[in-house]
């Protein structure tokens, strides 16, 4: 086993570097296998959701699929962050990949034998959600361990771009797999998508903790006293507190709930059928995030700072408000594209800042707290946009939710101003 490569020697740290993290050989390997895993996650969604609809025709089960995907972040993200602090992150990631593969394989067997029942589906959806929250903090500690502080923003942004690539191309690959091999066979094949990450973790020389100096032994268990310490650490650090609050407010008020309402927006734009125009509308946000991530990384733009994160968040709110207000299909697509770019920019900056400012012994817990806030609260955005939209219309509900978020973000923006000079000095 080779020793960890501490820094990409080919990169000059005194200038902006295009795709800085990719100059590191080990990060390139991790990025590639992580892309396979992300694709597998989204392919499974496409095939399993379609088969569940064909079998049960249950909107309630579809709603449970969304709830089961995000609710585990709300209840378990901090605990699994503490798990990452205490243990070899490679083993935690392997456990997550094993759960993903097992769920995909079980779907395939149940659908192939036509033995699927509603309770089977509910159990598998919950396990899938748990797999996502289990691997998140360990994955972030691993990339921090690979590239170090200097190139962490690049690595986080590239990971976010890979996730959006999975969202963008997962439906296409999943649909093609179903057409070529059939849905159950597609799920069998999809099981292999998680194998590269699982195998890489056997030979990867990074534990997630090898850069942490001055730490003796493992981090303590998560206890009530430890949870209180975590809250104190969060509230005492202006940057960490504001970024966790920004991620939580974004997820609670808007999140990605407008994606589920896209058929309604397509209807209002004059596209009632599931044609190419509807598909473009669905993919515009993810396409903006992917191309935006590549552009930001290619130019080395937007250094992670609370100030930049707040500005990008404000602009994101404005684009979402514009999308809710427009009746032009072309303008709506452009605004969704810009929203994808801006969302990737400020959320990746927020996550980077939490990791950089977190004490080493609490890093996994604070990443878990950020994941709980930025992902777990998405379970409630269906209320602010969807349920309220049923009462006043989706354009009004999305616009009002985005305006409320804009007000919160402006307050956070003002909150970061006193510390701007100290941020730049740091």
Of 195, 222, 249, the position where a domain reaches its end is 222
Predicted local distance difference test score (pLDDT) of residue 12: 42
- 118: how many CB neighbours lie within 10 A of its CB? 14
pLDDT at 259 over 90: no
Same domain, 179 and 257: no
Lowest mean pLDDT, pick from 10-14, 55-59, 85-89, 220-224 = 10-14
Which tokens go with 296? 């930001």
Predicted local distance difference test score (pLDDT) of residue 1: 47
Same domain, 269 and 312: yes
> How distant is the alpha carbon of residue 159 from its chain centre?
9
Kindly indicate the confidence band of residue 214, based on its pLDDT and cuts at 50, 70 and 90. very low
Is pTM beyond 0.85? Reply is no
Predicted local distance difference test score (pLDDT) of residue 276: 67
What is the Cα–Cα distance from 110 to 131, expressed in whole angstroms?
20
What is the Cα–Cα distance from 305 to 86, expressed in whole angstroms?
29
Lowest mean pLDDT, pick from 3-12, 195-204, 289-298, 372-381 = 3-12
Same domain, 126 and 58: yes
Same domain, 155 and 279: no
User: Do 189 and 318 contact (CB within 8 A), yes or no?
Assistant: no
Of 193, 222, 251, the position where a domain reaches its end is 222
The arithmetic mean of pLDDT across residues 72-79, rounded, is: 90
Is the model more confident about 30 or about 222?
30
Q: Does 13 reside within a domain?
A: no
pLDDT at 3 over 60: no
Of 180, 195, 222, the position where a domain reaches its end is 222
Q: Does 12 reside within a domain?
A: no
Q: What is the pLDDT of residues 153-212, one digit of tens each?
A: 889 889 888 888 887 787 778 878 888 888 899 999 999 999 999 999 999 999 988 876
Q: Does 326 reside within a domain?
A: yes
Predicted local distance difference test score (pLDDT) of residue 305: 83
- Print burial letters for 163-197: b (CB count within 10 Å at least 16), e (below 16): bbbbbbbbbebbeebbeeeebbbbbbbbbebbebb
Same domain, 265 and 174: no
Lowest mean pLDDT, pick from 139-143, 179-183, 216-220, 400-404 = 216-220
Q: Does 2 reside within a domain?
A: no
DSSP secondary structure code for residue 10 in this structure: T
Which tokens go with 176? 């093609």
Q: How far apart are the first and last CA of the chain?
A: 36
Instruction: Give the chain's domain count.
Output: 2
3-state secondary structure of 31: helix
Same domain, 173 and 102: yes
Max mean pLDDT among 97-101, 150-154, 224-228 falls in 97-101
Predicted local distance difference test score (pLDDT) of residue 189: 94
pLDDT at 60 over 80: no
Which tokens go with 278? 């509807």
Is the model more confident about 4 or about 189?
189
Same domain, 186 and 230: no
> How distant is the alpha carbon of residue 270 from its chain centre?
31
Predicted local distance difference test score (pLDDT) of residue 11: 40
Alpha helices per DSSP H over 57-151: 59-86, 89-112, 118-147
- Let me know if 37 is exposed, middle or buried by CB neighbors in 10 A (0-12, 13-18, 19+): buried
Q: Does 310 reside within a domain?
A: yes
Alpha helices per DSSP H over 237-361: 238-253, 257-260, 262-268, 276-299, 306-325, 329-357
Same domain, 139 and 259: no
User: Could you list the residue range(s) of the whole structural domain that residue 113 is in?
Assistant: 18-204+217-222
Same domain, 71 and 109: yes
Q: What is the pLDDT of residues 81-101, one digit of tens each?
A: 989 988 899 999 999 999 999
Predicted local distance difference test score (pLDDT) of residue 216: 40
Predicted local distance difference test score (pLDDT) of residue 16: 66
Q: Does 385 reside within a domain?
A: yes
What is the Cα–Cα distance from 168 to 289, expressed in whole angstroms?
10
- Let me know if 405 is exposed, middle or buried by CB neighbors in 10 A (0-12, 13-18, 19+): buried
Supply angle C-alpha 33, 38, 39, rounded to 5: 95
Predicted local distance difference test score (pLDDT) of residue 139: 94
For residue 103, the domain's CATH number is 1.20.1250.20
Q: Does 1 reside within a domain?
A: no
What residues contact 349, with CB distance under 8 A and at least 6 apart? 153, 243, 302, 304, 305, 308, 309, 312
pLDDT at 138 over 60: yes
As a whole-number percent, the residues of the chain with pLDDT over 70 amount to 85
Same domain, 175 and 249: no
Is the model more confident about 369 or about 67?
369
Lowest mean pLDDT, pick from 100-104, 198-202, 282-286 = 282-286
Mean pLDDT value across the chain: 83
Same domain, 238 and 200: no
pLDDT at 274 over 50: no
Q: What is the pLDDT of residues 347-390, one digit of tens each?
A: 888 888 888 888 877 788 888 888 888 888 887 777 777 778 77
User: Do 69 and 129 contact (CB within 8 A), yes or no?
Assistant: yes
Same domain, 195 and 75: yes
The arithmetic mean of pLDDT across residues 301-330, rounded, is: 89
What is the Cα–Cα distance from 206 to 88, expressed in whole angstroms?
9
Where is 25: in which H helix or E strand? helix 25-56
pLDDT at 342 over 50: yes
Is the model more confident about 275 or about 146?
146
Predicted local distance difference test score (pLDDT) of residue 359: 81
Q: Does 416 reside within a domain?
A: yes
Kindly indicate the confidence band of residue 322, based on its pLDDT and cuts at 50, 70 and 90. very high
What is the Cα–Cα distance from 27 to 25, expressed in whole angstroms?
5
* Residue among 42, 145, 37, 152 nearest 89 (CA): 145
């Amino acid at each position: 086993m080779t020793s960890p490569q501490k820094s990409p020697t080919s990169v000059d740290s005194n200038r902006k570097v295009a795709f800085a993290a990719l100059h590191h050989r080990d990060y390139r390997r991790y990025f590639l296998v992580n892309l396979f895993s992300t694709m597998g996650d989204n392919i499974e969604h496409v095939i399993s959701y379609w088969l569940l609809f064909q079998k049960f025709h249950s909107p309630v089960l579809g709603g449970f699929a969304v709830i089961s995907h995000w609710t585990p972040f709300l209840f378990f993200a901090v605990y699994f962050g503490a798990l990452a602090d205490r243990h070899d992150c490679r083993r935690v990631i392997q456990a997550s990949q094993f759960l993903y593969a097992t769920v995909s394989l079980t779907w395939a067997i149940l659908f192939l034998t036509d033995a699927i029942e509603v309770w089977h589906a509910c159990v598998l959806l919950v396990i899938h959600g748990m797999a996502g929250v289990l691997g998140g903090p360990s994955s972030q500690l691993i990339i921090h361990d690979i590239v170090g502080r200097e190139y962490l923003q690049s690595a986080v942004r590239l990971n976010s771009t890979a996730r959006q690539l999975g969202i963008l191309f997962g439906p296409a690959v999943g649909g093609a797999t179903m057409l070529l091999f059939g849905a159950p066979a597609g799920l069998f094949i999809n099981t292999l998508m998680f194998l590269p990450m699982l195998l890489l973790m056997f030979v990867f020389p990074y534990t997630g903790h090898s850069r942490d100096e001055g730490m003796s032994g493992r981090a303590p268990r998560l206890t009530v006293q430890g949870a209180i310490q975590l809250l104190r650490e969060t509230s005492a650090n202006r940057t960490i507190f504001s970024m966790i609050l920004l991620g939580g407010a974004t997820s609670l008020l808007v999140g990605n709930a407008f994606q589920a309402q896209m058929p309604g927006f397509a209807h209002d734009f004059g596209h009632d059928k599931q044609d190419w125009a509807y598909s473009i509308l669905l993919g515009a946000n993810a396409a903006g995030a992917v191309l935006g991530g590549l552009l930001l990384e290619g130019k080395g733009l937007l250094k992670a700072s609370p100030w930049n994160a707040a500005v990008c968040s404000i602009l994101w709110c404005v684009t979402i408000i514009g999308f809710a207000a427009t009746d032009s299909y072309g303008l709506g697509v452009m605004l969704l594209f810009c929203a994808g770019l801006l969302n990737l920019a400020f959320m990746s900056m927020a996550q980077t800042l939490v990791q950089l400012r977190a004490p080493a012994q609490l890093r996994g817990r604070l990443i878990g707290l950020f994941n709980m806030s930025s992902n777990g609260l998405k379970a409630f955005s269906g209320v602010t946009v969807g349920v309220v939209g049923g009462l006043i219309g989706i354009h009004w509900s999305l616009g009002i939710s985005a305006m409320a978020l804009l007000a919160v973000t402006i307050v956070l923006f003002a909150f970061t101003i006193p510390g701007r000079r100290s941020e730049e000095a740091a």
